[in-house]
A = this chain, B = another copy of it.
Amino acid sequence: MEQNHRKLKPVDELYLQRAYELAGRGIGDTAPNPPVGAVVVRDGRTVGEGYHHSAGQSHAEPTALDRAGAAARGATMYVSLEPCSHVGRTPPCTSALIEAGIVRVVAGALDPTDHGGAARLRESGIDLVVANDPAARDLIEIFAGSARRDRPYVALKMAVSLDGRISQHRGTRERIGSDAEAAYVRELRIAYDAVMVGAGTARVDDPQLTVRPAHRRERLYTRVIVCERDGLDARRRIFEAEEGYAPTMVLAPQGLRDRLGQLEKCANLLFVGPAGSQKLDLVDAMKALRAAGIFSVLCEGGPTLAAGLIAARQVDRFYWAIAPRIFGNSEAAPVLAGSDLSGARLRFDRVDRAGPDLVISGTMTYV
């Protein structure tokens, strides 16, 4: 890695940045593929650019090569992710690079799946440099986290006071975060296929869970409610039809089939587990979400669902928005309502300011 980094000249880093910027245009639209951006540079001039718009459409590399045409011969390709050598819905990118006469490839990160074409590029005499850049790895984090699992990549976002409470009293609604924090989260939703809350939060907070200002994209957003004991009322704002949104999905155990039947008109009901079950197995529930075509989920509470997901080892990343407030009283609702979360291992990897609040984020793994 160190060695590869030294192979990067300052101008290489600039073109890589441009590839990341192009990749970013596909964020939220490309699942199950990652967002990818590519730039073809010949004799110090950009001759072609491309990015992956959505699954089934052309990859970034062939688009950039098409734009470059004959100028690609002898050129360098900067690409945010190792080009694939995999025949999926589109032909392998490595073949296109070789045929176009690319002589050097600078890739931001390696493909975490076995579809990467690094070996084939090198065999064909192309000079491949992998930057292994944190920015490039961030772009594919959701992809890497969902590609080889049978469940979506799950991020958990909670808003808390400094003393870890979410409201003054259990079961009451309270906005903890600032406007800037709310805006931060609405933007975060863009990167995920779905946003999810527990039925208790849908009832108490009655959130709309939309991305505002409205964000046009290829894949419809899905709003998901996880339902167990709490009843659900079709008049909740989360069931309101919104342009760009799939019908809201309700995940519930089989035993709630009759009780939730009235929601059929406004929601997509997904019943999980054995007939008659009253308890939702969150591992099965996440598998069902994935089978329904959802590759990433941002869970926004509440405390019961959050703790349940962690206990079921389903959370990959957390966003902890901390407001400069303290409650201190024992009646205030704690951010996590669970029992054994000792298997979770957290790592903090960034802190952002969101107005007066801080957002600590990081990864969660399990032992």
List residues of A whose CB falls within 8 A of some B CB. Answer: 160-165, 307, 310-311, 318, 320, 322, 324-330, 334-342, 344-348, 351, 356-358, 360, 362
Contacts and interface: CB of A to CB of B under 8 A. Distances in A.
A344 B326 contact: yes
Contacts of A330: 334, 337, 339
B339 A324 contact: no
Nearest to A311: B328
Nearest to A344: B326
- What 3 A-B pairs have minimum CB-CB distances, sorted nearest first? A164-B164, A324-B346, A328-B341
Given A164-B334, A334-B163, A339 B328 contact: yes
A328 B338 contact: yes
B360 A162 contact: yes
Given A162-B346, A164-B164, A324-B346, 6 more contacts: A162-B320, A326-B341, A326-B346, A327-B341, A328-B339, A358-B360
A249 to B, nearest CB: 26
A171 to B, nearest CB: 15
B328 A346 contact: no
Interface centre among A310, A322, A326 (most CB of B within 10 A): A326
A9 B115 CA distance: 57
B347 A356 contact: yes
26 contacts: A160-B163, A160-B164, A162-B164, A162-B318, A162-B320, A163-B164, A163-B335, A163-B336, A164-B164, A164-B334, A164-B335, A307-B328, A324-B347, A324-B348, A324-B362, A325-B346, A326-B336, A326-B341, A327-B336, A327-B341, A328-B336, A329-B339, A329-B340, A329-B341, A348-B357, A358-B360
